[in-house]
Structure 1
């Protein structure tokens, strides 16, 4: 979870389950009601947001999205370095960072999926996210004239 204090949940789940199954487990272990939209995003080591897998495809037919229920965990978490970003409730933007820790457990959990470890408590409110530009001064000169003498504003 993207907060100051550590909030960690280790979950065991079969690789043949879907992202939607993982979504349901996350709702359960964090105590959410489960009535909000959510999405998973493929990610890299820098937690850059990549391909989106929404709970439901709310887009137009020009850019259809593959839904969570269509993606097996083994297809998006195939290597130990695989990472996902999970966003629950797009109004409050609960943001979770998901990493694959182990692919072959030496024991059989009687009931999968299951919570293996829990550290920290979910805050009452979602943290405020600070959106920062990768190029901080990028728009500072928008009101200056360009090479054609225009200042960027139409009258």
Structure 2
């Protein structure tokens, strides 16, 4: 099998998880009998959904797009497993931003509150300032650079430990 970029970038997150002292197993994630792409079951009750951004946009933001289908898979997983997380690999910054499913939902809800109806996809943006916490947010609809919700400040050392708390 050829090695794809996502194997290398997402593999960085999986290695850190596997090296954690409370790690015991990793398996593909199946929800309603269907295998979910780039999602895994860690130990016996923790789901992770992985995405990566190779480099920031000219604005300095890493952009991660979540389609309605991906959000639906995440919500289905929440119905069946104890904990669900989203892990966003910022390749050039060499950081992994770990979010709870609830944190992702709050950002998407804040975005939805600024537009009529549902959108087909949602962008989560991350900035990685030197020597600072990761800043995670969604923009207000139609207003680039205006967060829909106060940016979440995520410590760079949050991942992977928070998966096992």
Give the TM-score of the pair, scaled to structure 1: 0.28
Please identify the structure whose Cα radius of gyration is greater: 1
- Which protein has the bigger strand share? 2
Give the TM-score of the pair, scaled to structure 2: 0.27
- Which protein has the bigger helix share? 2
